[in-house]
Structure formats: C-alpha cells, structure tokens
Chains A and B, each alone.
Chain A
Amino acid sequence: MKTFLKTYARFLYPAVILVLSFGVYFTYYGSPQAMFWDENYHVASAQKHIDGVMYMEPHPPLGKMLMAVGEVLFGGNGNVDKSKLNETDYLNGDQAPPQMTYKGFRWPSVVMMAISVLFFYGILRCITQREWLAAAFTSLVIFDNALVIHSRAAMLEGIQMFFILAALYYFVRVATDHIHEGKKILLRHYAILGVLIGLSISVKVNGMILVLLFVMLYGVDQWQAIKQWQWLPLAQRLAVTVPSGVVPLLLVFFGVFYIHIGMGSTIMKDRTYKASPEYLAQIRAGNTWAPGTFMIGMRDNWKYMSEYADGVPRLDVCKSGENGSYAMNWPLGKKTISYRWDKNTVDGKTVVKYKYLTGNPVVWFSVLAGIILSSGLIIGRFIYGNAIKDERLFFWICAFTGLYLSYMIAILQIERVMYLYHYLVPLVFGAINLALIFNYVFRDEVIANNRHTIINASLFALLVIGVFAFFSPFTYGFGLTEDQFELRNWFSFWQLQVVR
C-alpha cells in the first residue's frame, strides 16, 4: 500500500484535490434559483452575447462571453423567454422569468474555479517539491468560504482566478524548470505567459498585476547577467522579451474585444451606450466584423469604461447599508457583505438562510500572519543583513510577498468604492506565500519528510476544513437561527448583521 501510494502520489494527490474541489464548488451550485449581487448585471450582459445585442460594460467582456457559452451549453432555459434580459443592464429579480435557472451562467465560474485549485497545487508542488505540503496548503483555496460563495455564482472573479492561477503556474513551472533542470527560458515562454495574462485582463483589468510576472521571469532568465551587471546583453534580451510577452497580451485583449464588437450586431431599442454615430451606423449596416468598425467600437467601449469608472461613487462609511470597505481592513475580513437572505418561521422559530460573503478566518488570518512573517524575513535580509538559509525559497517568498503588497498598494490608489471580494486575488498570493513561509521555517524537516511536520501540515488543513464547515451555512445558504448566527459572529469588525 505504501509503495502504491509513493508510486502514484503524483497522480493521487491531484485526483483527490480535484474531487474535493468539485465537491465543494460544484454541489448544488444552481441554488438559489435567484440572482444575487453582480449576477443581476452579468446575466443580462451574457444573454446579450447569445442574442447578438450590442452592449458596453465597465469590465472587459471575456467573463460574460464565457457565461454565455455556459448558458448555451448547460443553461436548460430553452423554453424560457429571455428577451427582457436584452432590454436592461441590471436585471431585477421581478423582471427575470420565474422559471429561469442560473446554472448555465454560473457554470464557467464554478468549473473554472474548481479546476484552478490544481494550478495552485502545481505551483506549490513545483516550488516545494513536496506533494504532501502542496496538498495540505491547497486546502486554503478549496475551503475558503469567501472564494467558494463568490465563485459559485455568475460573477467574474472565479473565471479570472482560473487565468491568474494558470499564469502563475506557468511562470513557476518555467522558472523552476530553468532553476532545477537548467532548461532555457525561450521567447515562446514569454509569449504564452502573455496570452494567459491577457486572458486574465480580458475578464477584469485588475489582472494587470500579473504584468509583474514578466519582470520576474526576466529576472530568473537573466539572473547571472544581472548579478554581473552586464548591461548590454541585458538590454538586448529586454528588447526581444518585452515584445514577445506584451504583443500576445495585447493581441488576446484586443482579440476578445474584436469578438465582442463583432457579435454586437443588434441595437436594442434606444440602448446605444453613448456610442458614436459612426459606430451605430456600422452596426446598422451589418459591418460589425469589419476592422474599421473594431477601431471605432474599441474607442467607444474604452470611453464608456473610463466614464463609468469615473462615475462610481467613493466609499461612504456613513451611508446606511454601505457594502464597500477600506482595502486596509480586508486582510481581517472587514467588511462582510450580505448577498441575500430568505427568512422563514418554522415551528415558531425564525430561521434565515443567508448568503454572506465572509472569509474562513483561519485562512485569512493565517495569510496575514504569513505576510507579516515574510515581510519580517525580507526586511531582516535587506535592511539588517541577516543570513538566509535557502536562497531560492527566499526569492520565491519575495516574489509572492511582492505580488501581494503590490496589489494592495495599487488598490489603495483607487478612489472609487471597493469591496471585500477585491481581496480574493491577493488572498491567493498570500496563501501561496504562507505555504512557502511554512516551508522556509521547517526547511530541514520538509526536506527530510519529518513525520511530525507532515502531521502538523495535515492538522492545519483539517483546521481549515473544520472552520470552513462551521461557516458553511453562510456560504451555501443553510438556515440559521439568531443564536446560531451569533455563534458565528466572531468579531464585531466583520459587521455581520443578523436578520430578525
């Protein structure tokens, strides 16, 4: 048995992870049969792709395109009249056909997020070279309540997370192959990375943070030249790697918009989204796939996105029912968002089914602890000149701490109101960082496959799973009484609000 496990570990771990992930993400994802949060926007937009209706939106269109694919393949709404969806950008629950299901629209986010945990596992497996360590820390993304509730919906983050983790995995794979096996980093590696980053940005523009991966890949690629400061070879390499990465990125981004503009062949009533007269004329003439139309349409879409972003209000904590929050508070889970609730009185007891965006506190606090530890390690090395015990691992920690901090610094520059789920991307960076910090602290024990260290990692994973299960009523909408709700209201700064 032991031999069997050792022989097939490289297949068994991913297989078990995939089964667990689908069990958590996929089970009853069609529930509730009603929209919540931004689904009201995205479902309406995705339907416009199906019906060829021109629309503009603050986010790039790839996420909605994939939702449209999901709806066409798995929607099961063949007999439902969805024409109302094309007449609005925000579909009210009252306007939605009552028999309509949302399984198809949610399918891409659910499935892509469930699969993307394999990328997470692969990243840790490549860096740490230990399946058990990678598997234990993959529990951080399978069993985080915030990731699960947000991805089990027709929203953009689950889809984007797939491309983000795919890009990270590809970068780590190429870099570790170069570091461990001496494989050369080729221009096609930059190009493929560019494609993956482009796909991420085509869902939401905050994927731009991944552009830092080009810099890191270049650093790995040219490490010897950087150390010796051979500026001429460095500049020569830069001159070819930048276009190799950026051109595919731009091709993907504009390619997605080309398809979006091409598919928008119908103008619904007076819904023109401030499009220019020449763009509208081209649509009415049936020239939506023409290169000239793309140029005009791209300009108009860009202008719309820009104006929309300018019009989004700022955070107003004094506003009643404000769901937004300061980015600095996100690592502690402040503030949670009530996506929807359904109140019932059963046998005289009030039972409420909540859908609450709240993180798994073990995951979120551990990630924060990991960032504090890694920041201390980096400061100790570069400020105090402390020795490091594993240079490669140290630089991986620098990379993921750097991604986490860069994202948070960038977010802090944005003036519009932001929400807790904007933290999901750095949360994943931080989760990888946490696994690496664990590896760094227990380096010798990890190399030796120390039994106590393996048990500790497993206990940590079990703790994550246990706390996920405890908070799962908020994630899956299981009914809670007020007392049961209060048992889960651990910190006042989460601002959970019981429904009475």
Chain B
Amino acid sequence: MNKLMDKNWIFSGLILAIVVLILIRITPESVDPVVKLVISKNRASISNIYQPRDVEFTKEVMVDRLNLLDKSRFSHPKLGNIAGYSDDFFVDVQHRIQVLKGGQFRFMIGSDDGFSLSINGKKICEHLGDRPYSVQPCFVQLEPGTHDFNLSYFQGFGNSGLTVQYALGSDKPRWFGDNSSSIKF
C-alpha cells in the first residue's frame, strides 16, 4: 500500500500508462479474414465497370465484412485505406456463400462509383458509371446450398466507397461477411 502511494511509483505508473496508451494507438488493427478482395490499380482512368482493364498492380486483401466506406473514402473502419490508392482501381470479390435458409434475398450494394453483381453467373444488378455514394437494392431467390457471389467495383476519381449488406425477406440487414441464420460465409 505504501508503495502505491509513493510519488516515485505513481510517476512510474503514469509513464507506463502513457506507454501502453501509445502502443495501443500505434498498433495496426487486424480483423478476421473472411472475404478476399482483389484490388487492381488501373493505368488509365476508369469511367465504366466494363471498360477494358489495363492493370498496373494487383494485390489481395482479406477483410471481415464488406463495409468499406469511411469518411467518404474507400476505407475500412479499422484497417484504413486497404487499397492504398485513391483513384482508378477495380475491386473484385469472388466468394462462395452457403445459404442455410432459402427464400428471397435482398443485397444492398452501396457504391461510389460503379459496380456489377452476379450470383451463380447470372447478373443481378449493376451501376455502370460514376456516381456519388448510393445504395441500390438487388433481389434474388436463393435455395439452400452453395452459391457463387461475384462482385466487381471500380473507383474513378474523387470520393469512393463500397458497402454490401444482405437480408432474407424482411429480416434486419447484416453486413456481407457476418454469418446469420440464413447465410454462412
């Protein structure tokens, strides 16, 4: 008890607390690796999701969920700007999902700029060109079993961001990547 009240020990404790706080602040964040993103930097500027690609660099990044909008930028709330670029890049997601409970699913795709969504090779919805961040509902009937989810997104110039949520029927929407009673990732 005497030691705890000693000025020297209080000062040592204060320094230790500051060091711990700093270490917490500067330790890079990590998340569960659930969804793989393939990020491709394009040499030319991009204005359409289907335009021919002229890829300069490609990299793969694992994220926990498709919530990639932070402060009007393509950015993970914890990992930051995982693309490493601000303009002219594509992001491709090819993920096999396991539907546990069949029915009509709603995929809410939010993008700035364009995207294209296919499930089992069938195009579900798209936005071809530039736009400010907007959320677009895409409906699809899925039976229990595995399904191939393919999403392509591009960022042209300026603000950016990509979000995907899903819901079965009138269920509450969940992030793509978060398991539920209807889908397992």
Contact = CB atoms under 8 A, between A and B. Distances in A.
Contact of A481 (B12, B19, B25, B84): B84
Contacts of A347: 57
Given A442-B7, A453-B8, A459-B12, A487 B28 contact: yes
A456 B7 CA distance: 11
Contacts of A348: 41, 56-57, 59, 84-85
B15 A456 contact: yes
Contacts, number: 55
A362 B15 CA distance: 10
B80 interface: yes
Contacts of B41: 348
Interface in B41-95: 41, 56-57, 59, 79-81, 84-87
A482 B8 contact: no
A451 to B, nearest CB: 9
B156 to A, nearest CB: 14
A222 B9 CA distance: 41
B57 to A, nearest CB: 3
B19, B41, B84: residue with the most chain A Cβ atoms closer than 10 Å: B84
Contacts of A456: 8, 11-12, 15
A227 interface: no
A486 interface: yes
A483 B15 contact: no
B37 to A, nearest CB: 15
A453, A456, A460, A470: residue with the most chain B Cβ atoms closer than 10 Å: A456
Contacts of B56: 348
Contact of B26 (A349, A450, A453, A487): A487
Contacts of B59: 348
Interface residues of A, number: 26
A348, A442, A470, A490: residue with the most chain B Cβ atoms closer than 10 Å: A348
A481 B86 CA distance: 12
Nearest to A467: B22
A319 interface: no
Contacts of B26: 470, 487-488
A349 B84 contact: yes
A54 to B, nearest CB: 48
Interface string A433-470: 00000000110010000101101100110010001001
B18 interface: yes
B7 A445 contact: yes
Interface residues of B, number: 23
A459 B15 contact: yes
A153 B176 CA distance: 51
B7 A500 contact: no
Interface in A468-500: 470, 481-483, 486-488, 490, 500
A445 B9 CA distance: 12
A92 interface: no
Nearest to A442: B7
Contacts of B11: 442, 456
Interface in B1-49: 7-9, 11-12, 15, 18-19, 22, 25-26, 28, 41
A470 B80 CA distance: 19
A450 B18 contact: no
A340 B128 CA distance: 38
A386 interface: no
B129 to A, nearest CB: 22
B84 A452 contact: no
Contacts of B15: 456, 459-460, 463
A33 interface: no
A482 B7 contact: no
Contacts of A453: 8
Contact of A482 (B9, B25, B28, B81): B81
Contacts of A488: 26
A350 interface: yes
Contacts of A490: 25
Nearest to B9: A452
Given A456-B15, A470-B26, A483-B28, 10 more contacts: A348-B59, A348-B84, A348-B85, A362-B18, A453-B8, A456-B12, A463-B18, A467-B22, A482-B80, A500-B81
